[in-house]
Structure 1
Amino acid sequence: MLMNKNSSPSNGEAKLQYGPSGFRVLRPGSHVICAMSGVPIALDELRYWSVEYQEPYASAQLATERLAP
């Protein structure tokens, strides 16, 4: 598949599989989208996610709000 510089998958949204102590990249990209706020999160800044819901969060507060009973 041919791609130009602007359409490289590494510049777009990544697809990840979230585990209890890390995540696995299923589709390369530079960021994921926060499930609560909709803001992009650079992969090197991603710290919060749910293994159960398989979704990322931009902050501890957003993760806590999402996972609260």
Structure 2
Amino acid sequence: MLMQGKGREARIHYMAGTFRLLSDGDHVPCAVTGARIPLEELRYWSVARQEPYVDAAASLAAEERARR
């Protein structure tokens, strides 16, 4: 399933502990850095903001930004 939509950005619904593909793709852009995140490497996201993050540092930056 992850190989469909090769080269395209996926649309995802983020849930607690998992996510659901809404449209085929193989990556998503980090909401903080813009870095391309392959779906098989996606580990960090916000359910409340429906945003993906490339790593823990980007996730923390998004949390700090949201608190302002």
Category of TM-score, reference length = shorter chain: 0.7 to 0.9
Task: Please identify runs of 4+ aligned residues in structure 1 that moved more than 4 A.
Answer: none
Does 2:39 correspond to 1:47? Answer: no
Corresponding residue for residue 56 of structure 1 = 52
Aligned residue pair count = 62
Q: Aligned equivalents of 1:27 and 1:10: distance in 2? A: 12
Q: TM-score, normalised by structure 2?
A: 0.84
| Structure 1, unpaired ranges of 5+ | 1-7
1:51 positional shift: 0.3
Does 2:65 correspond to 1:66? Answer: no
Identity percentage of aligned residues: 42
Between structure 1 and structure 2, the one with the greater Rg is 1
Q: Aligned equivalents of 1:13 and 1:67: distance in 2? A: 24
Question: Which residue identity lines up with residue 39 of structure 1 in the other structure?
Answer: A
1:27 positional shift: 0.4
Question: Which residue identity lines up with residue 62 of structure 2 in the other structure?
Answer: R
Q: Aligned equivalents of 1:23 and 1:9: distance in 2? A: 17
Q: Aligned equivalents of 1:53 and 1:10: distance in 2? A: 26
